[in-house]
């Protein structure tokens, strides 16, 4: 029989093996800023990265040991121990592979690793043989395997009297509890994961802290989701919507334009700013993406049911569009599309969970604004390592990726009250205001808030508001009235924080005259079951824009009207901002400026739907769609009547999906 001590000894020593390999990882691949004596080395952050890495490794060994714990009930001890050794040996091999993988891809094991089986496998193996010390790697893997073999053999000797038993029932029960806790890696709300890996403003340390087993598991999960969606083929949307081997035609149909002689289809994405306002200097541009700040809540705003607070005055003074849709129903999908400047495809995982995680797109706002001399920043109100947002933002050309670690450095940690997802909105906005105030060059800042999110806890300093559901017209339709009230209060807090930020900008004469602020939401919030006729409202989010006085005074009444009445989606935000912020600038996009004629404008839904003022179409496939007609403000009902406009909208949607496949794939293979 085996004591608790034997179990713990194996777990800790195995995790320390992971730490040893992580040290090799650091020595071989760390940038000079972390190793050169000429730099100020962040020793505390390096220690934190290794400590977090040890937790990931301990979590991995607990997971693997949990498998052994379960199978030992059914298999003879000699076989269950053999499987345990194999699991740990395979993990040790992955630790070594991960070092080589990072040296090539600049990332831990991810979904691209399946290219070994999808591409020319033999050619890749020969490439590895030529470029990497394969023999030493295999010898090291063998040494690790031998170490695990001896460790387990010494601690779990075969006992003739207990040949099929690992430990006493009590010890096994205690071990089960420890393994479950260890596998979770934390006592926090969520298990240890990639969202915990931002420990420094140095990207390498964040990558270093992640666990190989967790990276491997995540890659398998994402690949499985890709296959389930039928999107493992890069041309899945071209095939689905009738443009397979017709990539040029997809662009021609979407942009309603011919490819220039001697040119290529991607030239149809080229546009030039139209407004070209007079401006003393390039203005700062801030896009704020508010968590769950949907139009559904805004539509019932009144003095007796006040969800927007001070934003009411800002809405009156600025430009507000409510015929606007988010590109996906999830933060990950919408935010990644906004950072890249493209819509979400119908058949595909989100960009951060796809083969395009490290592909820079020419549609990225960071690319366009950097050409105009801007410093580009992505600020996340939590851990920017969540869902690899930090990696994706850097791939899209953002100069800086900032999150709660950076905010805590700016302000005293004792002054910051946090929630499960990060920093409260008012502190996040104070940080953004400080970036603008201290900026030495024009800024593009994309901000993602996190407060308006389950469990909807408010800071102790938040102003107390009374919101009565008796004043809510659709109270009877609410799924959970207690939860709805929490959501409304969180919505009001976020609105107040946003209003206070805009007030701060206006009180600072320098910033007021030089800052464009745009606001939208990642998605709406769902507190009732939307009817079929409410398909638009199900994904509706606002798009709000406030301009410096010297720019707003140059807008014509017609241009302002176009903005307010356009049907649009997330991918239309950047062309709109280019128009007011940049002068005589070229850019690539699939969107349109809301200051252009709104007559033929449309909004895209993630549910394969496309909307205009009077009609909507749900696109099933290349040759099939359903028509809807408007029966009220932003409400649509299915109709058997099919108009020419419906065919045109269907073609617009289908061609866009195909063009996106082509653009993303060719962007990837060019790099």
Q: CA neighbours within 13 Å on the CB side: how many for 245?
A: 0
Name 150's Cβ contacts closer than 8 Å, sequence gap at least 6: none
- pLDDT for residue 439 is more than 60: yes
Q: In Å, what is the CA distance from 604 to each residue of 73, 265, 601?
A: 54, 22, 10
Measure the CA–CA gap between 4 and 8, rounded to whole angstroms: 6
Q: In Å, what is the CA distance from 50 to each residue of 11, 25, 216, 389?
A: 17, 11, 19, 22
Closest by alpha carbon to 511, among 469, 556, 547, 475?
547
In tens, the pLDDT along 94-113 reads 999 888 888 766 678 887 67
In tens, the pLDDT along 442-464 reads 999 999 999 998 888 899 999 99
pLDDT at 173: 78
- pLDDT for residue 616 is more than 60: yes
Average pLDDT value for the chain: 89
Measure the CA–CA gap between 375 and 355, rounded to whole angstroms: 27
More confident residue, 587 or 33: 587
pLDDT confidence band for 555 (50 / 70 / 90): very high
Pull the structure tokens for residue 206. Answer: 């964040």
Question: Looking at the domain that runs over 273-607, which CATH code has it been given?
Answer: 3.40.720.10
Measure the CA–CA gap between 455 and 371, rounded to whole angstroms: 41
Q: What angle do CA 610, 615, 619 make, to 5 degrees?
A: 35
Mean pLDDT of 45-62: 91
Share of the chain above pLDDT 90, in %: 58
Q: Answer yes or no: are the C-beta atoms of 467 and 492 closer than 8 Å.
A: yes
Measured in whole angstroms, the distance separating CA 6 from the mean position of its chain's CA atoms is 42
pLDDT confidence band for 155 (50 / 70 / 90): confident
pLDDT confidence band for 126 (50 / 70 / 90): low
Q: Answer yes or no: are the C-beta atoms of 319 and 545 closer than 8 Å.
A: yes
- pLDDT for residue 37 is more than 90: no
Share of the chain above pLDDT 70, in %: 93
Q: How far apart are the first and last CA of the chain?
A: 57
Q: What angle do CA 155, 160, 165 make, to 5 degrees?
A: 60
Domain boundaries, the chain: 4-227, 237-272+608-659, 273-607
Helix (H) / strand (E) element for 558: namely helix 557-565
- pLDDT for residue 46 is more than 70: yes
Pull the structure tokens for residue 541. Answer: 């989010």
Full-model pTM: 0.79
Q: Answer yes or no: are the C-beta atoms of 461 and 533 closer than 8 Å.
A: no
Measure the CA–CA gap between 302 and 471, rounded to whole angstroms: 9
Measure the CA–CA gap between 341 and 362, rounded to whole angstroms: 9
Measure the CA–CA gap between 299 and 539, rounded to whole angstroms: 13
In tens, the pLDDT along 488-532 reads 999 999 999 999 999 999 999 999 999 999 999 999 987 877 777
Pull the structure tokens for residue 427. Answer: 């502190």
pLDDT at 164: 47
- pLDDT for residue 35 is more than 50: yes
pLDDT confidence band for 1 (50 / 70 / 90): very low
- pLDDT for residue 630 is more than 90: yes
Measure the CA–CA gap between 500 and 493, rounded to whole angstroms: 11
Q: Answer yes or no: are the C-beta atoms of 496 and 452 closer than 8 Å.
A: no
Measure the CA–CA gap between 520 and 294, rounded to whole angstroms: 9
Of the listed ranges 47-51, 197-201, 498-502, 626-630, the one predicted with least confidence: 197-201
In tens, the pLDDT along 277-314 reads 998 899 999 999 999 999 988 888 888 899 999 999 99
Q: Note the residue count of the chain.
A: 671
- pLDDT for residue 663 is more than 90: yes
Q: Answer yes or no: are the C-beta atoms of 379 and 428 closer than 8 Å.
A: yes
Measure the CA–CA gap between 95 and 22, rounded to whole angstroms: 8
Of the listed ranges 53-57, 74-78, 206-210, 594-598, the one predicted with least confidence: 74-78
């Amino acid at each position: 029989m085996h004591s608790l001590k034997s179990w713990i000894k194996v777990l800790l020593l195995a995790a320390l093996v992971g730490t040893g390999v992580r040290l090799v990882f650091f020595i071989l691949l760390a940038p000079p800023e972390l190793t050169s004596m000429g730099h100020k080395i962040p020793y505390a952050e390096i220690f934190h990265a290794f400590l977090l890495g040890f937790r990931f490794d301990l979590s991995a060994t607990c997971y693997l040991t949990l498998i052994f714990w379960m199978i030992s009930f059914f298999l003879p001890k000699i076989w269950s121990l053999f499987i345990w050794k194999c699991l740990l040996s395979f993990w040790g091999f992955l630790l070594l592979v991960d070092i080589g993988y990072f040296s090539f891809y600049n990332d831990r094991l991810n979904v691209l690793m399946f290219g070994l089986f999808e591409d020319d496998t033999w050619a890749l193996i020969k490439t590895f043989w030529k470029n990497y010390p394969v023999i030493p790697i295999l010898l090291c893997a063998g040494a690790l395997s031998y170490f695990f073999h001896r460790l387990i053999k010494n601690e779990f000797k075969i006992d003739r009297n207990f040949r099929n038993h690992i430990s006493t029932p009590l010890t096994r029960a205690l071990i089960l509890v420890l393994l479950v806790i260890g596998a979770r890696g934390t006592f926090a709300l969520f298990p240890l994961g990639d969202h915990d890996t931002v420990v420094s403003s140095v990207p390498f340390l964040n990558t270093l802290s992640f666990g190989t087993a967790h990276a491997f598991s995540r890659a398998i999960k994402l690949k499985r989701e890709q296959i389930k969606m039928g999107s493992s083929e890069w041309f899945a949307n071209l095939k689905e919507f009738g443009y397979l081997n017709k990539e040029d035609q997809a662009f021609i149909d979407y942009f309603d334009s011919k490819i220039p002689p001697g040119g290529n289809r991607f030239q149809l994405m080229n546009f030039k700013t139209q407004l070209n306002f007079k401006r003393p200097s390039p203005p700062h541009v801030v896009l704020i993406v508010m968590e769950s700040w949907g139009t559904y809540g805004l539509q019932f705003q009144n003095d007796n049911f006040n969800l927007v607070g001070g934003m009411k005055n800002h809405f009156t003074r600025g430009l507000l569009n409510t015929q606007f849709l988010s590109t996906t129903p999830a933060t990950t999908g919408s935010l990644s599309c906004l950072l890249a400047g493209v819509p979400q495809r119908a058949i595909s995982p989100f960009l951060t969970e796809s083969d395009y995680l490290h592909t820079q797109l020419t549609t990225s706002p960071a690319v366009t604004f950097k050409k105009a001399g801007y410093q580009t920043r992505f600020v996340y109100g939590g851990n920017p390592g969540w869902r690899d947002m930090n990696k994706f933002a850097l791939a899209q050309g953002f100069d800086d990726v900032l999150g709660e670690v950076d905010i805590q450095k700016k302000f005293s940690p004792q002054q910051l009250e946090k929630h499960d997802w990060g920093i409260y909105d008012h502190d996040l906005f104070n940080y953004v205001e400080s970036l603008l105030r201290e900026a030495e060059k024009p800024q593009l800042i994309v901000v993602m808030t996190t407060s308006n999110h389950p469990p909807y806890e408010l800071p102790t300093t938040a102003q107390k508001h009374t919101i009565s559901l008796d004043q809510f017209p659709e109270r009877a339709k609410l799924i959970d009235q207690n939860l709805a009230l929490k959501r409304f209060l969180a919505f009001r807090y976020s609105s107040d924080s946003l209003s206070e930020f805009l007030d701060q900008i206006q009180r600072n004469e320098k910033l007021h005259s030089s800052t464009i602020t745009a606001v939208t939401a990642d998605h709406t919030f769902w507190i009732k079951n939307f009817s079929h006729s409410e398909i638009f409202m199900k994904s509706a989010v606002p798009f709000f824009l406030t301009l410096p006085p010297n720019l707003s005074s140059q807008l014509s009444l017609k241009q302002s009207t176009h903005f307010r009445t356009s049907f649009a989606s997330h991918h239309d935000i950047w062309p709109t901002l280019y128009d007011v912020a940049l002068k005589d600038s070229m850019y690539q996009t699939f969107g349109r400026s809301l200051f252009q004629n709104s007559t033929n404008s449309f909004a895209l839904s993630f549910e394969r739907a496309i909307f205009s003022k009077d009609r909507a179409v749900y696109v099933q496939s290349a040759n099939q769609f359903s028509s809807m007609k408007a029966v009220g403000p932003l409400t649509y009902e299915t109709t058997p009547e099919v108009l020419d406009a419906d065919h045109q909208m269907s073609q617009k949607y289908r061609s866009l999906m195909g063009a996106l496949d082509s653009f993303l794939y060719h962007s990837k293979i060019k790099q």
